[in-house]
């Protein structure tokens, strides 16, 4: 079973322009609205690929009800804790000429300690040895990473596995607590922020950074996504360079979440690690063929032969 946790879901507004210019008037070519938040996107991508997931987290106000209703309409189970306030709206500016996007992310509603306890107890009743708990995205105010820490610890105590996909400062706080997710997925920019560096530069620098993170953190599996450059994975199975299928990108919004969904599919189906990485790369590429944050399941399987995970080294032994 896969449980996708969205502590800070959102309604995502995507505004498309031909050429985005800062400090100037930009003519809008199109606007779309999607339910979102990384955990929501992971659950929806899993449904497209052919794997059921439960979506959970916090839901506030009318927009929170909209998210729940859309998930149920899509055939995705959900179990959210209601909190006061209103679910946030994020704005993404998509430049059609470069396929690059700029996101304006709101903080989200305040979440009390009592709401965090309620969510943790709900999940405690669901997590068992076969469960993957996917913790993806930002944390609503007050922004304390302790809830992620508690959920990772709870999953371990219940015999389940956890996957963390969050920005550098959250990952830093989680690792500093002493708990370890089973899998850490992070993109190159987030890894740079985790290392307090401006950028990682070439893929070789990202690979070295991933090696160091794996060795220091003792996280079982570390995956760094590189956008069109594919991904790097370091684990006990070895070091892998993952090549993504070539696609004509429409929008990369949600590609990282689709990548995580592909990884989860491969792991819960007990596929070899290299194949799970290839499926992840295919799902991420498939998401780039749509204007919204979702991939199409048919595209994922069609593109899969174009993904390749190459093992670079012997297994890494962590003492």
The yes-or-no verdict on residue 253 having pLDDT over 90 is no
Query: Scanning the structure block, which residue is given the tokens 């893929």?
Result: 203
Measure the CA angle with vertex 252, ends 76 and 161; round to 5°.
Answer: 45
Of all residues in the chain, the percent with pLDDT exceeding 90 is 87
H and E: helices and strands count for the chain: 10, 14
Residue 111: strand, helix, or coil = coil
Q: Read off the pLDDT band of 318 (50, 70, 90).
A: very low
Q: Read off the pLDDT band of 313 (50, 70, 90).
A: low
Tokens standing for residue 254: 């949600």
Q: Read off the pLDDT band of 319 (50, 70, 90).
A: very low
pLDDT score at 314:
59
How does pLDDT run across 90-110, given as a tens digit for each residue?
998 989 898 888 989 899 999
pLDDT score at 202:
82
Q: Read off the pLDDT band of 316 (50, 70, 90).
A: very low
What domains can be seen in the chain, in order of their start residue?
Answer: 2-19+30-311 (3.40.1190.20)
Average pLDDT, the chain: 94
β-pair partners for 162: 133
How does pLDDT run across 166-223, given as a tens digit for each residue?
999 999 999 999 999 999 999 999 999 999 998 887 889 999 999 999 999 999 999 9
For residue 19, how many C-alpha atoms fall within 13 Å in the half-sphere facing its CB?
A: 2
* Eight-class DSSP state of 195: T
Q: CA torsion angle for 128, 273, 36, 86 (degrees, to 10)?
A: 40
């Amino acid at each position: 079973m896969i449980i996708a946790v969205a502590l800070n879901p959102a309604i995502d507004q995507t505004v498309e322009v031909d050429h985005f210019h800062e400090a100037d008037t930009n003519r809008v070519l199109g606007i779309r609205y999607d339910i979102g938040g990384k955990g929501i996107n992971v659950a929806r991508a899993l449904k497209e690929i052919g794997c059921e997931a439960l979506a959970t987290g916090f839901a506030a106000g009318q927009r929170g009800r909209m998210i729940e209703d859309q998930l149920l309409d899509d055939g995705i189970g959900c179990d959210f804790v209601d909190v006061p306030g209103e679910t946030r709206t994020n704005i993404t500016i998509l430049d059609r000429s470069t396929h690059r996007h700029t996101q304006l992310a709101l903080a989200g509603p305040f979440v009390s300690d009592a709401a965090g306890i309620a969510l943790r107890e709900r999940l405690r009743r669901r997590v068992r040895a076969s469960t993957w708990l996917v913790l993806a995205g930002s944390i609503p105010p007050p922004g304390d990473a302790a809830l992620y820490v508690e959920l990772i610890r709870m999953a371990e105590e219940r015999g389940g596995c956890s996957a963390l996909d969050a920005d550098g400062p959250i990952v830093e706080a989680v690792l500093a607590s002493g708990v370890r997710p089973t899998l850490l997925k992070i993109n190159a920019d987030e890894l740079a922020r985790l290392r307090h560096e401006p950028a990682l530069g070439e893929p070789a620098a990202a690979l070295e950074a991933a090696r160091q993170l794996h060795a220091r953190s003792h996280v079982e599996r570390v995956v760094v996504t590189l956008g069109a450059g594919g991904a790097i994975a370091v684990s006990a199975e070895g070091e892998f360079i993952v090549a993504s299928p070539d696609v004509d990108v429409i929008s990369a919004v949600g590609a990282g979440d689709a990548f995580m969904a592909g990884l989860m599919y491969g792991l819960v189906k007990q596929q070899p690690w290299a194949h799970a990485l290839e499926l992840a790369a295919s799902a991420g590429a498939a998401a780039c063929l749509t204007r919204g944050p979702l991939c199409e399941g048919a595209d994922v399987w069609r593109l899969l032969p174009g993904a390749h995970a190459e093992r670079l080294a012997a297994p890494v032994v962590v003492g």
